[in-house]
Amino acid sequence: MRGDSIGRSAPTTIVVPTIGRTSLVTLVEALTHQSRRVDAKVILVDDTAHGFSRDLRSRLTDVAVATQLLTSGGRGPAAARNVGWRHARTPWVSFLDDDVVPPSEWYADLLDDLADAGPEVAGSQGAVQVPLPRDRRPTDWERSTAGLEGAPWITADLSYRRSALAAVGGFDERFPRAYREDSELGLRVTATAGRIEWGRRRVLHPVRPADGWVSVRRQAGNIDDALMRRLHGRDWRARAQVPQGRLRLHALTAAAAATAAAAGATGNARVAGPAALAWAGLTGEFAAARVRPGPRDRAEIGRMAATSVVIPFVAVACAVLGRLRHRNATRWCGAPDLVLLDRDGTLVHDVPYNADPDAVAVLDGVRESLDRLRDNGIRIGVVTNQSGVGRGLITPQQLEAVNRRIDDLLGPFDVWCQCLHAPEDGCSCRKPQPQLVLDACARLDVDPHRAVVVGDIGSDVEAAVAAGATGVLVPTAATRPAEVAAAAPRVRSDLPSVVDDLLGGRW
């Protein structure tokens, strides 16, 4: 792996979620052999529970592109992509899947596509080409993969403005599979941030090996379709340009089978017979529709016959499960872009007008909480009133020494903003005034509406609200009951519980 300096001048960061497939090495090697040198950082996010294997790490070492290896803890490709783009600091973020192969001209074409994108363009999509066998008809699985060609908004090769991702909160992590999470994001982006246009670049997407039951497992996507319907209404397929599918026919098939079974169990032959014939006819039509365009060899016919019997029942069960699981789902907001924290009483024990670095004591759970935010690419900062300087009780040098100690114990922080005035100075920066929050957001180019302020007294929450940010109160023994009542329902017992909410998009 090479250092970070190579990616500083590029307009984009390349993000690749992976589950440790060896195809990742092929992808990275393809990036090292581009006609134009890849000067963008490549962030590889491992989404397995154990992280990058030692063998894969060694194979990714010394590649001729600047790579950064991150992990997302097995939470799915949506979460992995969110971890990746939040670590990016470039105007654009370019997503690739770990099983695509960029031709040698891909990076040059990507830069041209991004340069041509006007301010009204929020995303730029590359074409996907699926190589199919030339000596025979494609199998059902191969045809399914080939369906990626021409599909809009798929992240096999898709670049978004980072600002557009931040504005909508990124990918919805309630989509745990590589299915619909890209279409769902596309709906939100095109509704609020701008259009997504096709670029000139292309990638190859080879067909992955799969067993004969892959089509059955893919019916879990009906759970995600239920979430899409809950979030975007009944017409979501038309707006996302997604084919209708066969769920209604699957429901009819399953209902016919259930009716035949129930009637047969009660000895009602007049109902059981026609229902069984209906089931057989629908199942046969489904199997024939899948066999007809394929190679029609014995193995493929056997797979289609067996899976066509099972798929309708699995599809309906998953659809029902999805309706139940997501019946109360609301629009995803994602994690915030910036978390600003008060210093005394929130990060460290409150020692009034502390001038001694040795007196700094970190509160329980703070270090781990900050590290979780950093690991997810969320920037953090400190906004603090330090009136001891304005009152002449401590010197600026003493304050700086205490802050350095906090930085040593808990840092690094992306920004520090402090008010050094006494209360009677009537300044515009002392909390509950919003200026510290606004200054911190401005320094990091973050919309205050995508920022959260965490503190232990009411003025912290009031400053957040005045700035257009979200305030969260973590009370201590010094917090007045009236402040707790005023901050409800955004009151949490400790910082770890705040971070749980933020990473879950609940803020």
Residues 101, 30: contact at Cβ < 8 Å? Answer: yes
Q: Which two tokens stand for residue 209?
A: 């090996």
Strands (E), 91-245: 92-96, 121-129, 157-161, 195-204
Q: Has 501 been annotated as catalytic?
A: no
Residues 434, 463: contact at Cβ < 8 Å? Answer: yes
- CB-facing half-sphere around the CA of 100: CA atoms within 13 A: 29
246, 402, 495 from 334: Cα distances, Å:
32, 34, 18
Nearest partner of 170 among 88, 81, 66, judged by Cα: 81
Q: Has 344 been annotated as catalytic?
A: yes
- Secondary structure, 3-state, 165-195: HHHHCCCCCCCCCCCCHHHHHHHHHHHHCCE
Q: Specify the length of the chain in residues.
A: 507
Q: What is the DSSP string of 261-308?
A: HHHHHTT-HHHHHHHHHHHHHHHHHHHHHHHTTS---HHHHHHHHHHH
Question: Which one of the listed residues 113, 342, 350, 439 is annotated catalytic?
Answer: 342
Which letter does DSSP use for residue 424 in this model? G
Q: What is the DSSP string of 442-497?
A: HHHT--GGGEEEEESSHHHHHHHHHHT-EEEE---TTS-HHHHHHHTTSB-SSHHH
Nearest partner of 216 among 315, 301, 293, judged by Cα: 315
Rounded to 5 degrees, what are φ and ψ at 365? 80, -5
Question: Which one of the listed residues 46, 172, 344, 460 is annotated catalytic?
Answer: 344
| Cis peptide leading into residue 432 (ω within 30°) | yes
Known catalytic residues are: 342, 344
